[in-house]
Structure 1
Amino acid sequence: MSGHGAPQLTIENAQDLRVAVIAAQWHTQVMDGLLAGAQRALKELGITEPTIVRVPGTFELPVAAKQLADRGYDAVVALGVVIRGGTPHFDYVCQAATVGLTQVSVSTGVPIGFGVLTCDTEQQALDRAGLPDSAEDKGHEAVTAAVATAATLRAVAGPGR
């Protein structure tokens, strides 16, 4: 399973971080699981008032992430799913989302939690969605990674952040 070897992150004093979660709407069952996992992670970290934004699909995640990063959020989490079909659409959307979210993060300095599932089958997506029968919880992992990075960046920035 792809989650093998994942680090156990210790994140302290993250309660005051401003975090936004953007979730696509395609593939409702998978997205509901990803969003629930993200919200569970935020609660565990003591982040009680995250901003939750829904966009139509994965392709729209980068533009929403850019707007939120520019509005002072300490971390943004992007959740989506693209399932391979019979056309090149899969490749275009996956590349656009990946490159777009990377550009947002690098250009703004705001960590973007990458919770975009790029799967060959719906079952692969369900296995990663954080549902009761899922092997992995990528929504939870995306929040943890983004918040851990935001906390690290705050620590290296020093007092007065």
Structure 2
Amino acid sequence: MSGSGAPRIQIPRAEGVRVAVIAAQWHPTVTDALVAGAERALADSGVTDYKVIRVPGSFELPVAALHAARSGYDAVVALGVVIRGDTPHFEYVCQAATDGLMRVSVNTGVPVGFGLLTCDNDPQALDRAGLPDSREDKGYESTQAALATLIAARAL
């Protein structure tokens, strides 16, 4: 994990926007912490109109994000974790989820915050989850990114 070169994103004020937080259920210690980080970022931005939707795993994030984008949410935050194992499953799920989330954002114009952790092991995931001992809070950061992108797009 580098962390080097990460921007310091201003927490945008975003009162009045609707946000869908789509989170996988696998690895609940990590995904529950990611959701908590997203909820903190929403509160810090003044967002009160949001819904947390849980899906089975990270592979299901894109289809749920698409439905949220089509249902009138102004921004979507996708949260999950895939941890490398001994089979190619890791590569397939990571690539499919990443491509799917990007397509949702580009095809609908709705910003999608990318909070999908793709880690080699459990300690890496825990270190990014926003837990008290974590070095990073990707739930918070991906929500900030979605809101900042929404505000930027609206200014165009």
TM over 0.5: yes
Asked whether 1:38 is paired with 2:29, we answer: no
1:8, 1:50 → 2: CA distance? 24
1:137, 1:3 → 2: CA distance? 11
Q: How many residues align?
A: 156
- Offset of residue 7 of structure 1: 1.7
1:109, 1:151 → 2: CA distance? 13
For the Cα contact (< 8 Å) 2:15–2:46, is it kept in 1?
Answer: yes
2:49, 2:151 → 1: CA distance? 17
Unaligned runs of 5+ in 2: none
In structure 1, the residue corresponding to 2:49 is in which secondary structure?
Answer: coil
Question: For residue 151 of structure 2, what is the aligned residue in structure 1?
Answer: 151
In structure 1, the residue corresponding to 2:113 is in which secondary structure?
Answer: strand
Question: For residue 61 of structure 2, what is the aligned residue in structure 1?
Answer: 61
Asked whether 1:73 is paired with 2:73, we answer: yes
- Offset of residue 12 of structure 1: 4.0
Q: Which amino acid aligns with 1:137?
A: D
For the Cα contact (< 8 Å) 1:11–1:151, is it kept in 2?
Answer: no
Question: For residue 99 of structure 1, what is the aligned residue in structure 2?
Answer: 99
Question: For residue 89 of structure 2, what is the aligned residue in structure 1?
Answer: 89
2:12, 2:41 → 1: CA distance? 13
- Offset of residue 10 of structure 1: 2.6
Runs of 4+ in 1 over 3 A off after TM superposition: none
Please list the CA deviations of residues 56-112 of structure 1 after superposition, one character each: whole Å capped at 9, or x if unmatched: 000000000000001111110000000000100000000000000001000000110
2:4, 2:89 → 1: CA distance? 29
In structure 1, the residue corresponding to 2:155 is in which secondary structure?
Answer: helix
**Cα–Cα, structure 1 residues 65 and 82, in superposed 2: closer, same or farther, change >3 Å?**
same
**% identical aligned pairs:** 67
Question: For residue 159 of structure 1, what is the aligned residue in structure 2?
Answer: none
RMSD between aligned residues? 1.0
Unaligned runs of 5+ in 1: 157-161
Question: For residue 115 of structure 2, what is the aligned residue in structure 1?
Answer: 115
- Offset of residue 113 of structure 1: 0.2
> TM-score, normalised to structure 1's length?
0.94
In structure 2, the residue corresponding to 1:50 is in which secondary structure?
Answer: strand
- Offset of residue 16 of structure 1: 1.1
Asked whether 1:132 is paired with 2:145, we answer: no
Question: For residue 51 of structure 1, what is the aligned residue in structure 2?
Answer: 51
